[in-house]
Amino acid sequence: MTRKLKSVATAQAEPQAAPTPAPARRLQSAQLRQIAEQIAPTQPPAVMPTRRRSTLINFRAETLLADWLADRAAAESTTQKVIITRALAAAGAPVSPQDLEDRTPRRRRG
């Protein structure tokens, strides 16, 4: 089996690619907002959510408290986390408004 390789000496010069343009400078957010207002003045501004960091908190409690918490959450049709974060907020803890909401994904009925 013989390989047919191109000879470097006999290869025709390939056409040169066009030079790549210099990267455009990035516009500042104020400039981008101004452009968007000019192009679509009736379009509401986009709201970009801030990146949220969370940490898992796990604690052990007596069964009586765990049962009470589960019953209370079921009675209010919410999560145990919401019950706990409401109590922490009432005690003055810096609780995020998102932690006070039940954001459990709901199952779709098929």
- pLDDT per residue as tens digits for the range 20-47: 777 778 888 888 888 888 888 887 777 7
Q: What three-state secondary structure class fits 23?
A: coil
Q: How far apart are CA 70 and CA 78, in angstroms?
A: 10
Tokens of 3: 């390989």
Q: pLDDT digits over 67-84, tens only?
A: 999 999 999 999 999 999
- pLDDT band, very low/low/confident/very high, at 5 (cuts 50, 70, 90): low
Q: How far apart are CA 86 and CA 102, in angstroms?
A: 11
Tokens of 50: 């801030």
Q: Residue 36: its pLDDT value, please?
A: 82
pLDDT top residue among 45 and 104: 104
Q: Residue 11: its pLDDT value, please?
A: 53
